[in-house]
Structure 1
């Protein structure tokens, strides 16, 4: 390229990783997945993977559309390696994703595609004829300490997970990808290959190559100074202004500015919001794609009224965007805290938002009615996710339900809606829900979802024993000072192994749900890798009834509420394979209560569903 030209290329991931890149030592660290001050891990990697997977999954057997992940800015060095000036977070995450896919396939004894191997590392020969083997991506800042090469070389979970900021964040990123492959793709080699094919052939980015670093930094500054995230709204904005009277321009500009700023501040994709808004208010077609929104609006002007009253339509969009931002923050449409909305965010993570369609469709309800709706949605969402219902299937149900929800106005209407659209779905999937709860391992779920499950069951027992006063906030239980305890340790001492006895057919029994207990971190650390008999005294000091009653029933009276609750628990004086099975079956049965899932058919008609 010339000394002045800027070269821009639209590349799929497979083409991107045909070249070599380095992140210069003056760049900042890898920060995706970094924990905040509250100790909660960032969800950028989860969102990156989930957004890509949703595009593939929505294709339903047809050729899926391409998916754009952004722009990178590079400058080629004299050795032919690209200096990565902007975009290192998504490039590093993409590289780690390729490493994790390779490692997952290897663990499944599946063939590793040659293309995948070469996208991670390859050799290059310079003009002198010297051949050098290297990783496709190299982090040169001091904080990285060569850790990325560990993942490239296949060390995976054996790579250091603590030390510098980047080492910790990269370990979190790799773990997040492996959790995704296990939970969303069931560690199925064919599904993983399909995802790999889509990821490398349909996921694309724009690579901007500049002749020197100073030009690259200027472009980086320009990109990051612009509101690039909101450009997708321009067509709709033009459509409204086209139908507005000149006297309405100022009002429309003001509303539009507030609308777009609300979405920007919330970190939400404008097109996703628009799609959900349409599905919540006008259309039950769950197949409406984001790239079809403008065409849909153009052909449904009578329904939306945007041609006759563009300002009114913009006002409606703005009000919906405000409510949507509240939902993202765990609140109801009026801005007040709604625990079930916050809980659903902890359950679904950052990517699963289809249930927001129902929130939008029901935002006209009174506060008590909306709170009840949100509670029912949380329960159903949990059933769908644990039972493994595909996103395209439950989105279809959501789209149908939203049409009906728009007309709900009375408590009787809401009762009928819940019975027809929510209770019926829970009945339909209850057997799969119970089966998965009874057989689940830790890798069957994303880590945040596993924590939600355990905290929710623990909370349920506390409320049953003590009443709901002061205990309704799941955040109290999900506090970072609490953690997952493996009753039979992941790395047991010889004494713990001897006391536990034979592992049995399931070599991964330690990762069964029945072997997990939700306790305070201090108790988790104190219990350590000890035998069960030595752990029980530590559990006794927990503030949670479920943990305190792990070994024996501790009665507080004769017929008081706490005593009645404790009698329903599953204490085990000894810990072995059979005890884990019994406890997991108990947890599966109790989960039916926690998420209000009917335990059995209530009528011949229901049994036939």
Structure 2
């Protein structure tokens, strides 16, 4: 018997929706309507409609241009339903558009074209002569929750749109179509019918039908070669299914669903996760770009075994994604709170995540060594950021360290820390001190200045009082309950300027690090923009020792040898405030900073 050939058809949407389609449960969920937590994104549906409408507007009385929306790949099952292997985003969007056009006409109390009804749902006769009612498109993946049936039935407007990611995206897409009908078509029945006519008669696709799923997957890969149309994450998924046995599809589908959920819940871009995973797991150059990731997989199967053991490889990705999500929540790979990770986010902001590469590489370490790794990353990252080390440069150093850390035992860990972190900070010690001695409020991001002051203030408190629930968490110091106080006020009153002397209105002095102090909001409101001699009467009300001791050491209240007194005695105080005091205090904070972030000049101490 001759093997079935691959069939390629150029067809209109009218012809396309004369058949029945199914998105199999192992396929990617619907993402075109997706928005981020800020409500940004989801523009693909709007672009889809806008592009079609632009061509529609070029139609004349006698001629309408055709518009091509792409290619879909299908494979017919035993019941003559076409399984969508590629093209579910545009197919689902086109189907939702038909549902929305119908719903708009219903709400306008207009009669429906029979053809429109048949493009949404129809019936087919099986080999036994039984008539079976079907919707033209069905979604089988679990995340869809049967939501498309509600839109097909005309009840989607009242559906719960927040149950799952796919339900939310489909709801967003449907709402985008309805807004297009309301605004662009102005809710006019004649315009709606005319647009429906253009959509189904002049919008075209190429449908490629294969005899087997394996061939469909191979064509999918060919069409999207080198990431054209899809990203490396989608192509990798296809590659795994293409090499898996059909009996593994369900298990592989479940693993991939968990994987994408973990990445989504980490608020991360899948490609960045995939790139970081490769940098952490293999000896990959830090110059690896996202657009060549798929090519890298095709050339390095011997390393990953993604073709010979696709399910096992997917499980490794899932384990890494679970750890990654924990890192994004300031936790270690096992889910325990890790303050070093949280602190690094406070100093770097949410966009700096290169250190996740080395965190993934260090998952095998004991909890205590992993915690030490996180602390060392925090210290070194701060030094890099303060000294202006370029992101590409410190990422390269992180990747180099990650490559070594993968094979570093716990017994070798101290030497690893010395080689890759302590010596790194030592090499930047002079630059670090010089930078801090001239640092001003506007020289770096405000949240980083807040982190700097908070970290130094916390350091002094820990020396004096020891660990406690309130003092161990840096978040308590950088929280909204505290202010960055300008000791010489910005826009101070006449008394404050007069008492300070020369330079009292000089922004170069006012914005210097030496003129900044962390203080509670309630106290800051009380002192306002007054003169220093009045402020120092209120500073001792602060719970922070560094702030209390701004003008006097506040010692001798507990005992000569106790920790609090020793900590207070080690602080420099400033009974009067002038330009020299600002300069001296900045030098003092710089010396404290070299202790806080362990930035020692000279030879770094070896491992204990």
TM over 0.5, yes or no? yes
> What secondary structure does 1:376 align onto?
helix
Q: Kindly tell me: are residues 69 and 399 of structure 1, through their superposed partners in 2, closer, same or farther at Cα, counting changes over 3 Å?
A: farther
Give the alignment of 1:263-274 within 5 angstroms: 263-274=263-274
State the distance in 2 between where 1:337 and 1:482 align. Answer: 23
- Which residue does 1:538 correspond to in 2? 538
Within 2, Cα distance between the matches of 1:344 and 1:230?
33
In the other structure, the counterpart of 1:528 is 528
* Greater Rg over alpha carbons, structure: 2
Deviation by residue 1:68-104 (Cα, 9 ceiling, x = unmatched): 996695999xxxxxxxxxxxxxxxxxxxxxxxxxxxx
Identify the residue that residue 286 of structure 1 maps to in structure 2.
Answer: 286
Q: Which moves more between the two structures, 397-406 or 477-486?
A: 477-486
Question: Is this contact kept in 2: 1:230–1:264, CA < 8 A?
Answer: no
2:576 paired with 1:574: yes
Which structure 2 residues correspond to residues 412-451 of structure 1 after superposition, within 5 A? 412-451=411-450
Alignment of 1:314-329 (within 5 A): 314-329=314-329
Alpha-carbon distance in 2 for matches of 1:71, 1:436: 46
* 493 and 365 in structure 1: CA distance in 2 versus 1, 3 angstrom threshold: same
Instruction: Report the Cα offset of residue 602 of structure 1.
Output: 5.4
Q: Deviations over 1:500-535 (max 9, x none)?
A: 111189642111111110011001111100000111
Distance 1:449 1:244, change over 3 A: same
Aligned pair 1:562/2:586, yes or no? no
Question: Which secondary structure does the structure 1 equivalent of 2:283 belong to?
Answer: coil
In the alignment, the residues of structure 1 paired with residue 46 and residue 571 of structure 2 have an alpha-carbon distance, to the nearest angstrom, of 58
With over 3 angstroms needed to count, the CA separation of the structure-2 counterparts of 1:602 and 1:264, relative to structure 1, is: closer
Partner of 1:15: none
Unaligned runs of at least 5 residues, structure 1: 1-30, 33-41, 49-67, 77-207, 219-228
Cα distance change, pair 497–299 in 1 and its aligned pair in 2 (3 A): same
Deviation at 1:409, TM superposition (A): 2.1
Aligned to 1:386: 386
Unaligned runs of 5+ in 2: 1-34, 51-176, 193-228
Please give the residue correspondences for 1:592-603 in structure 2 after superposition, counting only pairs within 5 Å: 592-601=594-603
Counterparts of residues 89-108 of structure 1 (less than 5 Å):
none
How much does 1:284 deviate?
3.7
Contact 1:485 1:516 in 2 (8 A): yes
Counterpart position of 1:459:
458
**Would you say the 8 A contact 2:357–2:399 is kept in 1?**
yes
Cα–Cα, structure 1 residues 515 and 295, in superposed 2: closer, same or farther, change >3 Å? same
> Per the alignment, do residues 476 and 231 of structure 1 end up closer, same or farther by CA in structure 2, a change over 3 Å counting?
same
Per-residue deviation, 1:548:
0.4
What secondary structure sits across from 2:472 in the alignment? Answer: coil
The verdict on how the C-alpha distance between 1:231 and 1:589 changes in structure 2, with shifts beyond 3 A counting, is: same
The 1-side partners of 2:247 and 2:527 are apart by 71
RMSD: 3.1
Q: Quickly say closer, same or farther: Cα 1:563–1:69, change in 2 above 3 A.
A: farther
State the 1:246 CA deviation. 1.3
Q: Contact 1:276–1:356 at 8 Å: present in 2 too?
A: yes
Q: Cα deviations across residues 316-359 of structure 1 (Å, max 9, x unaligned)? A: 11111111011011000000001101111111101110010010
Q: Secondary structure of 2:518's match?
A: strand
Q: Which residue of 2 aligns with 1:479?
A: 479
CA contact (8 A) 1:554 1:566 kept: yes
* Distance in 2 (alpha carbons) for counterparts of 1:506 and 1:427: 34
Contact 2:232–2:291 under 8 Å retained in 1: no
Look up the SS of the partner of 1:540 in the other structure: helix
Q: Which residue in the other structure is 2:498 paired with?
A: 498
**1:433-469: per-residue Cα shift (whole Å, max 9, x none)?**
1111111011111111111111100000000111123
Mark the CA change 1:505 to 1:423 in structure 2 (over 3 Å): closer, same or farther.
farther
CA contact (8 A) 2:498 2:504 kept: no
What SS is found at the alignment partner of 2:239? helix
Tell me how far apart the structure 1 counterparts of residues 479 and 507 of structure 2 sit (CA, whole Å).
Answer: 31
Match of 1:213 in 2: 183
In structure 2, the partner of 1:90 is none
**1:212 Cα deviation (Å)?**
6.5
Deviation at 1:311, TM superposition (A): 0.6
- Residue number in structure 2 paired with 1:306: 306
CA distance in 1: counterparts of 2:186 and 2:239, whole angstroms:
35
Q: Which residue does 1:62 correspond to in 2?
A: none
SS of aligned partner of 1:559: coil
Task: Give the deviation of 1:211 after TM superposition.
Answer: 8.5
Shift of 1:231: 6.3
Residue 242 (structure 1) shift: 1.2
TM-score (norm 2): 0.62
SS of residue in 1 equivalent to 2:392: helix
SS at match of 1:306: coil
Task: Quote the offset at 1:232 in angstroms.
Answer: 5.4
Give, in whole Å, the separation in 2 of the partners of 1:520 and 1:250.
56
Distance 1:210 1:469 in 2: 57
Alpha-carbon distance in structure 2 between the residues aligned to 1:297 and 1:419: 34
Q: Deviation of residue 418 (structure 1)?
A: 0.5
Aligned length: 403
Q: Is the 8 A contact 1:284 1:400 kept in 2?
A: no
1:87-486 matches, within 5 Å, as 213=183, 233-410=233-410, 412-470=411-469, 471-486=471-486
Partner of 1:307, secondary structure, is: coil
